Amino acid sequence: QQGVNTNLFRIKVTNKKIEKLTDVQGTIMVTGFSKDRRRYVYIFSDYDTPPDVYTSPVTSFQPTRLTQVNPWVEEEIELATMKVIRWKSVKDYEIEGLLHLPANYQKGTKLPLILNIHGGPAGCFTNSFRASYHIWAGLGYASLSPNVRGSSGYTDHLREGNTIHQGDGIGKGDYWDLMHGVDKVIADGYVDPNQMGLRGWSYGGILGGWTITQTDRFKAASIGAGVYDWSSEYGMGFNHDVRLWHIGGTPWDNPQAYRSQSAYSYVKNVTTPTLLIHGMRDTTDTEGQSMLFFTALKDIGQVPCRYLRVPREPHGFREPRHQRIRDIEEIKWMQKYVRGIEWQPWERKDDKEEKKEEKKSK
């Protein structure tokens, strides 16, 4: 991976020379090789091309397309446009992000914004097909997806930028990377600063939760599968890397660091209507974290909040029905609090049948 694009390279075992095989704008993922190792199979997508399977000889890049799984997407839907933008952030970091706009966007029009925050923290946003980009654009939003410090695909310096060894830990420099990115799209005339929401999952939920304790500029937040109090998560979830690299020590030896990097410590500052979502079988970031943050928001009583607890789901939702419920509730929340719209989901032919099945299951 190089920035938002992923290409293929070959290393010769005799001299360890690295040779670049492809130079595409998009994302390539190799999934297998032919029995004689003369060809490989890969999946390719970019921001407006859904994933499909291709093959090529190993010696040179000569792609042959094998599938066209979703031709209707390109033929029947107005897809978002996308551009890669860059901005300067604190400590002289250059941050890169994806800006998606509606297909019919007119220059100078100020749109409502969805700020996307990726997981990881070593995840990243790539030039690949994500339905959510096009859904938000279809609803009239711009969406900004920053690769903040801590993201993979750039340099070791940027990857380690939110560790205690190089930076200030989580919720510090990476938070300012988000804010400076938002400032840029406002200054460039794309975004109405009075209509902005944020959404994030996993580390995106963690940083999203932190963000709404530090600023009041967002009208709505949807945060899922996050950690909001690091001390109570110690030993519960799969977060050993976070405490080693991003916080340091233990809650009893380094209590101030655990408190100072927990959104829960600043929950009284939240002025953003907040939707929390968590799978009840999440063992990565445990479900009690969202209950903790939700209970605090309810007890304080300053903002509208809702908690969607989803049965049977681990860290990443697997059941299509639950994925749809999550997406619908998130859109409803953003439309209501960012734009003041009471939004109803699009009708589907099988909605009535689904409701019948729900009644049977109860």
Between the alpha carbon of residue 311 and those of residues 80, 88, 281, 286, 318, the distances in Å are 33, 42, 7, 13, 11
- Nearest CA to 45 out of 35, 57, 31 is that of 31
Residue 230 pLDDT exceeds 90: yes
Give pLDDT tens digits for 134-165: 999 999 999 999 999 989 999 989 999 898 88
Mean pLDDT of the region 61-82: 93
Q: Flag the least confident range among 41-45, 55-59, 244-248.
A: 244-248
Contacts of 18 (CB under 8 A, 6+ apart): 9, 10, 11
Length of the chain: 362
Contacts of 219 (CB under 8 A, 6+ apart): 194, 195, 196, 197, 272, 273, 337, 338
More confident residue, 39 or 348: 39
Using the Cα atoms of residue 317, residue 329, residue 80 and residue 174 in order, give the sign of their dihedral. Answer: negative
Residue 349 pLDDT exceeds 60: no
- Nearest CA to 358 out of 350, 281, 299, 329 is that of 350
pLDDT > 70: percent of the chain: 96
pLDDT at 351: 58
pLDDT at 168: 82
Contacts of 212 (CB under 8 A, 6+ apart): 198, 218, 221, 223, 263, 270, 271, 272, 274
- Nearest CA to 310 out of 295, 292, 329 is that of 329
Between the alpha carbon of residue 252 and those of residues 153, 228, 246, 249, the distances in Å are 35, 18, 16, 8
86 in Cβ contact with 96 (< 8 Å): yes
Give pLDDT tens digits for 299-336: 999 999 999 999 999 999 999 999 999 999 999 999 99
Mean pLDDT of the region 87-98: 96
Confidence band of 243 (pLDDT split at 50, 70, 90): confident
32 in Cβ contact with 22 (< 8 Å): no
Domains by residue range for the chain, with CATH: 9-71 (no CATH), 78-339 (3.40.50.1820)
Tokens of 98: 């994806």
- The average confidence (pLDDT) of the chain is 92
Helices (H), the chain: 71-76, 131-138, 156-159, 173-187, 203-214, 230-233, 240-241, 255-260, 288-300, 320-339, 351-361
Q: Strands, DSSP E only, in the chain? A: 9-11, 18-20, 27-33, 39-46, 49-57, 64-65, 81-88, 94-101, 111-117, 142-147, 191-201, 220-224, 274-279, 305-310
Mean pLDDT of the region 215-221: 98
Mean pLDDT of the region 253-265: 95
Residue 247 pLDDT exceeds 50: yes
pLDDT at 353: 59
Tokens of 95: 């941050």
Q: What is the pTM of this model?
A: 0.91
User: What are 10's strand-pairing partners?
Assistant: 19
